Chains A and B, each alone.
Chain A
Amino acid sequence: MAIQSGPALSGRGMRRPSRRGGRHEIGDTTLGRWVRIYIPVLLFLFVTLFPFYWMLITSFKSPSELLDFNQSPLFVVKPTLEHYRHLFTGTHFGRWTLNTTVVAVVSTLISLLCSILAGYSLARLRYRGADTIGWGIFVTYLVPPTLLFLPLAFLIRRLHLFNNLWSLILTYPTFLIPFSTWLLIGYFKGIPRELEESALVDGATRVQTMIRIVVPLALPGILSAGIFAFTLCWNEFLYSLIFLNDTIAKTISVGVTSELIRGDDFFWGELMAASLLGSLPVALLYSFFVDRFVAGLTAGAVKG
């Protein structure tokens, strides 16, 4: 379900409870709104966004300015693109970005394909064991990557996939498929059975009704699942840290933490430039699809 923006649904009754509960007039004055809404919102915004601001200005500071606290560190006096230049000429940042993109796109597509099929099967077809398998897929949440990375390292070595992007493309679906299957089951169940049944009566096969009727109607859900899956891939760290050691094969998170930190030397300018650039794709994707993203995020939660 799409999440509507607040104003349409926010009633007077859902305001933040005032400390002085009895005097409800306080909420309607300008001062009251500042105390009740604007100041808390600004505080939240400040704490949320400051680290990003700090990334941004650090990435533009010259090395000498980075370590000079005699002037205010909160602003840049002489902005420079030096760190960005070094990132692209002195490291393989471009390659890392490409790797991350390839892995995220391919494993998202694989996971979507698997979960559309599985979700349809579990939501629409009646056969023995469907419920059990559905719960089984849910229970895989119990096995986070932290539990699996060591045995997976063994398996990946056996398959000769070390330093190969396939090591990630094959393992990411294990945490993408369960949530997208559950999300899609919800969407598929929301599509009226009658639509499919009338097509079946007209002689369509199950596979045809799935591809022609159910999947197109569930596109918003598929988009949500895809965006969410892509974000999860982009953020993954543990598997790529273990499976990829070649500079050329690394993803952004791993490349940045392993090559821009040398022992106790942190190249903060480059690190922050890379963090900013590495966050940009998901932030942009997200800003175009906030509502879809939020729907994906909360679909399970609201349906509970």
Chain B
Amino acid sequence: MSTATQPAPAGRAAFRRPRIRFFGQEAPLGYLLLAPTLFMLVAFLAYPFVIGLWLSVTDSEVGAIGRFVGLGNYRYEFLHDRVFLSSISNTFVYTAATTVFKLVLGLVMAVLLNQAFPLQRFVRAALLLPFIVPTVLSTLAWRWMFDPTFSVINWVLARSGLAAHGVNWLGTPRTAMASLIIVNVWRGAPFYGISFLAGLQVIPIELYEAARVDGGTRWQQFLRITLPMLRPVLLVVLLLSTILTFADFQLPFVLTNGAPYSSSHLLATWAYAQAIQGGAMGIGAAISLVLFPVLSIVIAGMLIALQRHD
């Protein structure tokens, strides 16, 4: 490990130019320290990604790499697989709807928590709980709350006279999607709320004082100071949340797994159903890869927005 103090090996192509050589002595150690990380990421992320690309153009089954079929899997999916097409639109609806709700509820939560009241710290900790607890386990509790015959939510609805027979939560395509969205918002809103709270707390109070001196109302202060100052936090939270929601597997798998009649599949659960339950690895790989270009566009857009801000 004494490479640090030695000069860079002269033969390294990358460091031939004298301009670079000045910093060159830190290069060997720099790369050495990066090596374990790069190894893990190449071996278990980049390499599988390439295998995935290859699988998606073959007719592979579970356990055996198949023949090259070109874009056959993609053609089949887009032209003949109606569940796939509905899973694409479901994924967009799921991501868009949950993001809007999480954004609004997160803002409300952050503004609430940013005020002084008794037990404020306890409340903050409690509100983040859905985000901490394993999604599979909390989603099981929701599935039990949405049970067709013993739903506690329906019991309350019936008792309070809001809906005599309750709602068939997971039984119809529309309510199943709504249930997925409800549970995702319940799980994800705290992440937005706590992140926004952290963002609120670094806004200088002087800005608000100045606004009050100039006669700005609270609503104007919110629109003109709070929201613009939150922009960087907002973008990062949206970025992470969009990726996680778009590729969400745990929650839809446990809550509906496509039921009823494969109507509530998202891309991730449908890829799993085709590849693992149906054995069609090639097709499953093609389905999950459809996520990639969409995610790339979303992320490129957000990175551009972020850089413009800086």
Contacts and interface: CB of A to CB of B under 8 A. Distances in A.
B219 A21 contact: yes
Interface in B92-150: 108-109, 111-117, 120-121, 123-130, 132-138, 140-145, 147, 150
A73 B125 contact: no
- Chain A: interface residue count, which band? 35 or more
B247 A144 contact: yes
B26 A125 contact: yes
Contacts of A16: 108, 111-112, 115, 218
B69 interface: no
Interface in B21-53: 23-24, 26-27, 29-31, 33-34, 36-38, 40-41, 44-45, 47-52
A110 B37 CA distance: 10
Contacts of A146: 247-249, 267-268, 271, 288, 291
A302 B4 contact: no
B150 A67 contact: yes
B181 interface: no
Contacts of A76: none
Contact of A174 (B45, B114, B291): B45
Contact of B205 (A13, A21, A37, A297): A13
A154 B203 CA distance: 49
Contacts of A4: 201
Interface string B271-310: 1100110000100110011011001100100000010010
B37 A5 contact: no
User: Interface of chain B, helix or strand or loop or mixed?
Assistant: helix
B78 interface: no
A81 interface: no
Contact of B141 (A18, A125, A237, A275): A275
A5 B205 contact: no
A157 B125 CA distance: 41
Interface stretch (B79-87, B168-176, B228-236): B228-236
In this complex, which of B108, B111, B218 has the most chain A Cβ atoms within 10 angstroms of its Cβ? B218
A204 to B, nearest CB: 10
Interface string A238-262: 1000100000000011001100000
A140 interface: yes
Interface in A211-259: 231, 234-235, 237-238, 242, 252-253, 256-257
Contact of A145 (B199, B218, B232, B249): B249
B152 interface: yes
Contacts of A31: none
22 contacts: A14-B115, A24-B218, A38-B117, A47-B186, A48-B126, A66-B150, A114-B37, A125-B29, A128-B27, A133-B34, A137-B37, A147-B52, A151-B50, A170-B40, A235-B133, A257-B136, A257-B140, A257-B254, A272-B144, A286-B128, A298-B198, A304-B309
Given A4-B201, A170-B40, A302-B232, 11 more contacts: A9-B205, A113-B36, A146-B271, A150-B271, A174-B44, A181-B37, A235-B134, A257-B254, A275-B138, A304-B232, A304-B235
